[in-house]
Amino acid sequence: MPVSLKNLTTFGIEATCAELYEVHSPEQIPSYHGILSEPHLILGGGSNILITKNLEIPVIAIRNQGIHIEQENQSNIWVKVGAGVVWDELVHWAVSNGFGGVENLSLIPGRVGAAPVQNIGAYGVEIANALKSVTAWDKFTQRFCQISVQDCQLGYRDSYFKQKGKDRFIITEVTLCLQKPPTYKPILSYGTVLEELRKNYLEPFTIQQVRDTIVEIRRTKLPDPKVTGNAGSFFKNPIISYEQFVELQKDFPAIVHYRVHNEIKLAAGWLIEQIGWKGYRQGDVGCHPKQALVLVNYGKATGTEVWELAQKIQQSIFQKFNVKLEPEVNVY
């Protein structure tokens, strides 16, 4: 009998799957060999996915919990975290215990296991900054394995798990290295964060102050998926060559950009705003009025409607700027 996925994704779109299985312990996974040998979908917090149709395949939801201290010294602490832990609950735990390194990633929706896959990032920090390794079930060898941060091949919203390792692994645990005071130094390269901190606190800023400030900024700018269905930033910030940027800047002098080594990262939200999509709404699907990167479900939008809007935005950006926008969200 089909199972509803509406409450298992942050878009809150009505769709079903053939069967739903929940993994509360990694030891359960080998018993699912038959299911894993056929088409299936691994689901974490459902915060980075858009389902456009009913799925005729089983879904396996990763729900194993636990935060365990592996080792520590005067400067750092290593923690192993279950893939099913809600990401922001981990950040809350770290900050409450005085450990730094992930506070800039506060309020990012989803679960821990998906964080390395997407190499989640915000306000100048990526999980790559703290990740040491992941433990995963290898569907090919049918064994658990340890994958180092180097072998995760983390890039901008990218990883080995989205490329050569796609569909091969089920991440069950993530090991992070966090910082202890006084070694801890906040990363405040995003001006908005530093400005808000200076308005309310005196330097040096505490880990808790950094988290509180970022939570406040995100709540001001981004819709709560519990209220308005969304998956956060729908598109990646495009990265183009310096040569292409020079030509683009001639026509658009105010274009928002950031230098990334020898390339240029453009602000996708700025591009979308220039076309006039920000605040757009048709029926129950739209582009958020405060953050153009966020596509939203105002109630009864279908996944197809959201995807059609995303494609229209992609086409208009390409026509005006000759820049391709890639979805950050996985579309099924």
Report, as residue numbers or ranges, the catalytic residues: 157, 233, 328
The first and second tokens of residue 61, run together, are 């939801």
Specify the long-range contacts of residues 6-9, CB closer than 8 Å, at least 24 apart: 8/43, 8/46, 8/59, 8/61, 9/43, 9/46, 9/47, 9/49, 9/50, 9/51, 9/231
Give the CA diameter of the chain: 59
Separation of alpha carbons 236 and 238, rounded Å: 6
- One-letter amino acid at 115 equals A
User: Which of these, 31, 8, 38, 30, lies nearest to 20 by C-alpha position?
Assistant: 8
CB 15 within 8 A of CB 54: yes
The first and second tokens of residue 17, run together, are 């799957």
Separation of alpha carbons 188 and 240, rounded Å: 25
The first and second tokens of residue 197, run together, are 């901190």
The first and second tokens of residue 312, run together, are 């229209």
Partnered with residue 235 across adjacent β-strands are 327
Half-sphere exposure of 280 (CA within 13 A, CB side): 18
